[in-house]
Chains A and B, each alone.
Chain A
Amino acid sequence: MNNVTKRLFGGKEGLIGNLILALILVVVLPSMLDIFRLNLVGKYLTYAFVAVGLVMLWGNAGVLSLGQGVFFGLGGYCMAMFLKLEASDPVSTKIQSTPGIPDFMDWNQITSLPAFWVPFKSFPFATLAILVVPAVIAYILGVAMFKRRVGGVYFAIITQAIALILSLGIDGNQGVTGGRNGITDLRTLLGWDIRTTQSQYILYFGSVALLFGCIMISRWVLSSKMGRILNAMSEKEDRVRFSGYDVSNFKIFIFCLAAMISAIGGAMFVLQVGFISPSLVGIVPSIEMVIFAAVGGKKSLLGAVYGTLLVNSGKSLFSENFPQLWLFAMGGLFIFVVVLMPNGLAGVWVDYGKTWLAGAKKRLMEKSPVGDVKAVGEAPQL
């Protein structure tokens, strides 16, 4: 039991952390917020998937990817293609020149469904595609880059280029991808209307559940032997290599894992928001997702969720009330977090919060032994 708790949650402390987050997401927020704001939170949670992936990739394996939007977008587009085909049955589209195909294809004078769209009529295929397509692309990129020891800054810039390529590619092929507009007007999933209030609640809780699932899987990986190697890699990669491990294989694995997690986020995004567009695939969103992870603490899985929620709520609040100011705030946040809070909120919690808590506990229980206080600066377990 203890071992399971440790592997899945990170020990007793981690279990409490998970429970607190679960409480906030499952009980507190749904009761405090109306469905519109809750739907927004659901959207932020889908970004949190990407942040969790980045915690694995960047915080724990030391690889910074500035193109995670690519995988988020791929997952989103796979789901959107399935949903769009479902919404484009011949009956609903009978006013088109060619009924039975998505509306944007009709506007672009396309008369039959392109070959790569056809398999997406099947839900099992679409679900598989959401996981497999990003993983395959991550694998190819990973092999090409990591085996050649391309890392650090170079890798980051190339991931940016990939994000740019994909978003331009989608933009430029309006007929088959929906182009700039994206794929809009999605209505039902296997007959279930995803736009009703009830569906939005169900999708919200579904996202929460999937998010926790991904966090637990990630923690399982981190608490295995691989986790220790990853930790070592992010500190002193050469020594790990000299010890006989093939560092690139680990990086490839984590890159694929992060890609799949991001893709799940993308799919849930499409279900909750009702459309996808190339503006979620490009450079800007990819870099923003990095800051979500950074704010929470790039080594902290739970921190990723908090970071995402905080930054996005701030963004919405600012852009509603002080639209002129929010870019200043965002830019300032980047600088502040990077320069002054390199381990994010989780780091602040570990360095200051935990010692304060331990001290408070000690003061409360006068006769407790001294040995309970944990050392400052230990790698955060959250």
Chain B
Amino acid sequence: MMLAYTSAELTSIFTMQSFAGLSLFSVLLLMALGLAIIFGQMGVINMAHGEFMAAGAYTVYLCSMLTAKFAPAFQPYYFLVAILAAFLIAGTLGYFVEWGLIRFLYKRPLDTLLATWGLSLIMQQTFRSTFGAREVTPTLPDWLMGSFKPTETIDIPINGVFVMGLTLFITALVLFFTFKTRAGLRMRATVQNRVMSSSVGINTKIVDRLTFAIGCGIAGVAGAAFTTIGSTGPDSGSRYIVDTFLVVVFGGTASLLGTMASAFGIAQTQSISEFFLQGTMGKVATLLAIVIILMIRPQGLFASKVRRA
């Protein structure tokens, strides 16, 4: 297979595929960050995570429609505002979901799984009834279209760069929040020892709610980023849920660093195997590799010191 290409072509392949891999890495990481916070830190399995992503994507679509209708002059700038809106709306939705559903199920992780699956069905149908069964796309600003051309054969899509930049920014924000702010400190304390935290005066209920909301908000941003790559439909969320979970589990659920390493590894493997194998089989090969590695090392790449069953 490798011999079918000249060496110049091979270099181009590897550059472009690595970039495709990096692109995929940022998408996976953005999706997995929110989940890593919720699952890794709180032990809650949110099967509706994909739908929060879709909520973010639909928010961007709505912003696009509203800008086109009421403020066409604003068109080139609305996208960044839309991303912020996606974060806020998905986050608020998450806040209420935690309050209305999740907080009853903390001691029962398998039940949260099923209940949130039910929630995902409801959200999917809500999207379908509100926005229609057809897929929708927001009108993307011109500065996101096209690509850089460092050489003749290498094209780096601009939206890929944008998504990577966004991912770096969000990841930095999350790490900063978790490790450098008092709110993050409270979050970590609650996760590690709930009883002690509440006895020193931390309102663990509110901390939980905010953590869940932040996780969902990040999912909303992931969805917003995703609109640059594909269209959004009512069941867009369910396409990525398994991948996202695998990224988190593979990395070791309690470790944000693990999530990043895992997203990187999976993305590059998938990119490269998709190139040399047929489309679908590339995905199958990657999934098989992950499952086999997980069977050998179930705690993931970066295991936590506390084992969760």
B and A form one assembly: yes
Binding site for B on A (CB under 8 A): 64, 66, 144-145, 148-154, 156-158, 160-162, 164-165, 168-169, 171-173, 283-284, 287, 290-291, 294, 324-325, 327-328, 330-335, 337-339, 342
Contacts of A169 in B (CB 8 A): 281, 284
Contact of A331 among B113, B118, B249, B284 (CB under 8 A): B118
Residues of B within 8 A of A333 (CB): 118
Interface residues of A: mostly helix, strand, loop or mixed?
Answer: helix
Give B1-51 interface residues, CB cut-off 8 Å to A: 45
In the complex, B59 has a CB within 8 A of chain A: no
A164 touches B125 (CB 8 A): no
Interface positions of B (Cβ within 8 A of A): 45, 101, 104-105, 108-111, 113-115, 117-125, 128-129, 238, 242, 245-246, 249, 278-281, 283-284, 287-288, 290-291, 294-296, 298, 308-309
> CB distance B284 to A339 under 8 Å?
no
CB-CB nearest in chain A for B245: A157
| Residue of B45, B110, B245, B308 ringed by the most chain A CB atoms within 10 A | B110
A287 to B52, CA, bound (A): 20
Decide: A324 and B295 in contact? CB cutoff 8 A.
no
Q: Please give the distance in Å from A182's CB to the nearest CB on chain B.
A: 16
Residues of B within 8 A of A334 (CB): 114-115, 117-119, 121
Residues of B with C-beta under 8 A to A325:
125
Task: Please name all residues of chain B whose beta carbon is closer than 8 Å to the beta carbon of A160 when the two chains form the complex.
Answer: 242, 245
Residues in chain B near residue A291, CB distance under 8 A: 114, 118
- Sample of 20 more A-B contacts, CB < 8 Å, known A165-B288, A327-B121: A144-B296, A148-B295, A148-B298, A150-B295, A156-B113, A157-B246, A158-B295, A161-B242, A161-B246, A164-B287, A165-B284, A172-B279, A327-B128, A328-B125, A331-B118, A332-B118, A332-B122, A334-B114, A334-B121, A335-B101
Chain B residues near A66 (CB, 8 Å)?
A: 113
Give chain A nearest CB distance to B242 CB in angstroms.
5
Assess whether A172 is in contact with B278, with CB atoms less than 8 Å apart: yes
27 A-B pairs within 8 Å (CB atoms) are namely: A64-B113, A145-B295, A152-B110, A152-B309, A153-B113, A154-B294, A157-B45, A157-B246, A158-B291, A161-B242, A164-B242, A168-B287, A169-B281, A291-B118, A328-B121, A331-B120, A331-B121, A331-B122, A331-B123, A333-B118, A335-B101, A335-B122, A338-B114, A338-B118, A339-B101, A339-B104, A339-B105
Those 10 A-B pairs whose CB atoms lie nearest each other, nearest first: A334-B118, A172-B280, A331-B121, A331-B122, A327-B125, A144-B295, A150-B298, A331-B118, A335-B118, A338-B115
> Complex formed: what's the CA distance from A168 to B105 in Å?
33
Contacts of B296 in A (CB 8 A): 144
**A330 to B238 Cα, complex, angstroms:** 16
A307 vs chain B, min Cβ distance (A): 13
Residue of B119, B125, B279, B298 near A335 (CB, 8 A) is: B119
Min CB gap A336→B, angstroms: 8
Set of chain A residues within 8 Å of B101, measured between Cβ atoms: 335, 339
Instruction: Name the CB-closest residue of A to B249.
Output: A157
Contacts of B104 in A (CB 8 A): 339
B47 to chain A, nearest CB (A): 8
In whole angstroms, how far apart are the Cα atoms of A331 and B105 in the complex? 16
Residue of A nearest to B129 (CB): A324
- Structural contact, A162 and B291, CB atoms closer than 8 A: yes
Residues of A within 8 A of B294 (CB): 154, 158
Query: How far is it, in angstroms, between the C-alpha of A153 and the C-alpha of B254 when the chains are bound?
Result: 14
B292, closest chain A residue (CB): A144
User: When the two chains form their complex, are residues A342 and B111 in contact, meaning their CB atoms are under 8 A apart?
Assistant: yes
Contact across chains for A327 and B249 when beta carbons are under 8 A apart: no
From B48, which residue of chain A is reached at the shortest CB distance? A331
Contacts of B242 in A (CB 8 A): 157, 160-161, 164, 283
Most chain B CB within 10 A, of A145, A156, A157, A291, is at A157
Distance between A135 CB and nearest chain B CB, rounded to angstroms: 18
State the CA gap A158–B250 with chains docked (Å).
10
Interface contact B110-A156, CB-CB below 8 Å? yes
Taking CB atoms, residues of chain A closer than 8 Å to B291 are 158, 161-162, 165
Give the docked Cα–Cα distance between A331 and B261 (Å): 34
B119: chain A residues at CB < 8 Å are 331, 334-335
Contact across chains for B124 and A161 when beta carbons are under 8 A apart = no
- A330 engages B110 (CB within 8 Å): no
Contact across chains for B278 and A327 when beta carbons are under 8 A apart: no
Question: Of B118, B287, B290, which contacts A330 at CB under 8 A?
Answer: B118
In angstroms, how far is the closest chain B Cβ from the Cβ of A177? 12
Q: Which of B110, B115, B128, B129 contacts A339 (CB 8 A)?
A: B115
